[in-house]
Structure 1
Amino acid sequence: MAIYHATMKSFSRGKGDSSVAAAAYRAGFDVLDVGTGLGHNYSRRHGVAFHQMLSPRGAPSWCLDAKKFWNANEAAETRLNARVCREVEVSLPHSLSADQRQELALALGQLLVDRFQVAVLVAVHKPSNQGDQRNHHVHLLMSARKVGADGLGERACAEFDARQGGGTRALRQIRKDIEQVINGHLAMAGHKSRVDHRSLRAQARDAALQGDFERARTLTRKPMRHLGKARVAVERKAKFTAEMHGVGGKEAVMSLSRILMAHMKLSGGILHDTPSRHNHAAALRDLRREQLSNDNDAAPAAWDATGNPVSQAKSRLAGASVPSGIHTPYSGQTRHLSRVARLARSTGKDAEMLNAEAKLIEDWLEAQREVAQQALEVLRLVPGIQIEPEFQQAHSALVCRRVDSYASKSFLFEDTESLANAVSTYARMVIRPYRARMEVLNAQAALSEHGNAPTSHAAIRARRALARSKAHVSPRIVAIQNWRINQARQKMKEACESLEKNFAVPKLEDLSADVPRNEANESAAQQAGNWELTIRRPRFAP
């Protein structure tokens, strides 16, 4: 199986990089940096299978001398933060022979030379003795400037520095070209395996569309990540592995373990025998048992030693937080109130517990109302905006009190907070296009102030700011923002419908059914046509 890997990185003098040092390390030779006077000695390093310089047709002969060229390349850059070179690292198929991999590496280097008119150092590296023996790869070190008949010229590879996605598109194109070169050499060598520069998800989708569901299932796996030499070196130093191969290997390992254990016991070390029943599964069971016991101990925290409820609303509101290791979209106050409601239902002391937590409930309700009010104020910032019915319904549902459901139904607090988050997200999505248009107007006004000096630095910065602000109102960005607004509106609508369905507020007719009526007064009021309704604030009473 051939694995595709091709990455590009830049070397900058501002970060302390040197193209001379990079070339010496990748090619494995000794060289003196004339500019700094530092010597880079890598002739004793292992793993370099082959290296060669490539240059465009008509370039001076000294461009094929790696030591001379990279010193000249370093001297051509005068800025302190100059980019001195670029590198493309490509994985070579291990199914090819050494000569075939060398030909492939030279073909990849020539591709870069012809495409960008630069000089390229091709350095093929072998796998490390301690690493994966299939890790054959090539380093293609490119000069930062074009190379012509007069030597180093203007800056090269400007397409990789393009803005607004241009650099990404150029990188994807070169990755696609590298894929074609590798597949061509695999075909010439008689191998059926091929590489693909696309992501595993894109490959699986394409295989499914073509009807190859077995290949699509194989490609539906977690992608591997390139660790890099620094992380691999740390892992190798931190991890100790003792392996015994050949006949009697198991006995040798056991003998070594017994000798080590006896030495630790004699020297007073902390090494001791592990109980036979103490394994990984037992450790997981102990951890689960401890978590359950902690939850049971924390549940009756709202009760004192005599069994009476204790009010901890102020401390809960100030210090309630999500425990370490628990990831939840709800706040600590919401999780605590939901736990109190469940405990109230299970113990039958709902009124006592709710009265004990009344301050926390009031603060929580006020927080939800503030979220709804802030979302409404944000929308009112847009001149001439028409508040949509979905937002009006969600706003009304959010500010409505549902006292009867506090201790009788589950997930009231969670669903209410989810609706508050949905309302806030919707308001932010709606206001974003308006702010983008305002930024364009402000940038145009700032640019108009520099009409007398269009070439000044301030005018140049103003034009750049205007270009950036216009990019945020482009048709593509507007389409994305509209899609996000529709998604936020749909989520807000679903959250509102769920809250209204699961925690419906009793209608006025139902509430008035239990109230004693005075028929005389009622008929008089009907005749007068003047109805007066008084809604009193409910209390948490049994």
Structure 2
Amino acid sequence: MALIAIFYVNLKTFSRAKGQSAVAAAAYRAGTQAGFRDERTGVLHTYGRKRGIVSVDIHVPKAAPAWARDPEKLWNHAEAAERRVNARVAFEWIIALPAELNGFQRAALVADLSHLLVDRYAVATMAAIHAPDTHGDQRNHHVHLMTSTRSMGATGFGAKVRALVDQKTGPLEIEAVRAHVAALTNQHLERAGISERVDHQRLLVQARKAEAQGDFGKAALLTREATIHEGQASTAAARRGERLERSGWNAMVHASNAQLLEKFVAAAQQGGRWIEAPARSGADQAQADRTREVAAATPGADSRAGRPTPSKGRAGRTPAGSKLTRQKLSATGGRGTRAQGRDADVLNTQASQASDSRRVERDSSQRYMDMLQSVIEENGQRAAEAVAYARLWNWPSADVHALAAHRVADPRCGVLLRQGIDAATQRTRAHKLGERRRARHGAAMFATARERQAAERAEENQPPAWKPKTRREWADLRRKQRAKLGQAERREWRAQVLVSAQAMSRYVSQAQAAAEKLEHIESRRAAGYPVPGDAMRSKAATLSIQGKARPVFTRRHEPAKPRPNAFRIPPPLNANLEAPSTQTRRRHPRP
């Protein structure tokens, strides 16, 4: 069966705030029988029964001390280097390894990935290669690269490596590491003579790149909807016969996609657009793949024919006179009870080949249905762009359908429609900006009037007799009220500057420029991608120019007139837009 290289890179952190330990995490990934003892807590972490551990290696800088090459001592020193109760104690990169490579080739790739992290950040790295689970996907070869959070020198751990967790540099660093991982993976695939390649970019970016290159088949394959990563919790729940919420969601997504794709396949078959399967059958592929897997392990296997050589008779049928007991395979395509008796290996091989053939055909059908679903989703996105553009002009449904057909057929139409939608967004934003500035100016005027009234009350009124104030307290109160009034006046002045005649004319000019751009884009659209309603709109525009009718199907956005205030507010102290002073003149002498 032809495998497809899968790219997956995920960064995790281990923190004491979550109750995690670098020693415990390393012991689980190493899966040693003796285990690792955490010197900070005194707990011995043993995971001797864990299966699927292929290899565990340590990669450190050249100047690292000798104890850094012992996993248990390495991670105990990493724990001891941290003092905070919520400190990060380790990073972990989980990277998928290509199933097309063999064990030695995957180990070489992991060594290069480890050296990449060591050379880039000068950290200690533990690489644990894990094989696929027995009951899981047999392509799930992956590696856990645990790295220290501090750089390592000749004396041990040094400064913190903050490039991965910084808010500004973190995303850039992770993206750079993903690009390096993809480049190294492709180099090893090329050395192995495998044509498959991986790409670290998002599926949407890859699809657009393929579409720009004219490879619409690859673009259709890449526009699929990504499912939710289930993780080890879902895997453990599945082994217990349970199903978590994300597993149920993925199953529901697959079922709905299959239902939609079945209808699309039927329509494609009726329209004569069905793609024929390759000449080589799934049984031949399964037999060839099975030969490579069991040729070395099966005694008397014939690597050229791809099947074991029986002692009597032919491999294609049951030998004559043999008394074999073979139970019927299950209806789901899985393997039933293995045959027993003389020449049982012949029937067991035939049963394995039949099961592999059904699995290959099922996987091929699923991949083709995924491709068709991606085509449907891509067409839906293109039609949504056409609908959004048509709503700007209040077009009827016939024009919307015609524009959607143009968008699906020609990618350049989508570029034009997106430019029009952006111009309409800029126009709306310019109008709303002026309205928000006017509302903010009104609120600032109201706040100034309120603070002025409070300041006048503090200057004129005397403290009540039942609550006397000292002269200092009364002076502090007046000073605070005057300071609040000064701040309110400065805020009002800044808001008034933003609604001045010059500022409002600037908003209007921005809106007019965006509207003119939208009109220009609409004229280009009408010339290159016409719809049925263009003739009627052109005639209406001509009559409007001659003064015989009002224009239709167009929107004329004019700046909104200022709304009258529901209450009268006294004018600001500085009506000529001069910045108010920070000192306010006292109206009465101090008592």
Instruction: Indicate the TM-score class for this superposition, using the shorter chain for normalisation.
Output: 0.3 to 0.5
TM value normalised by structure 2: 0.43
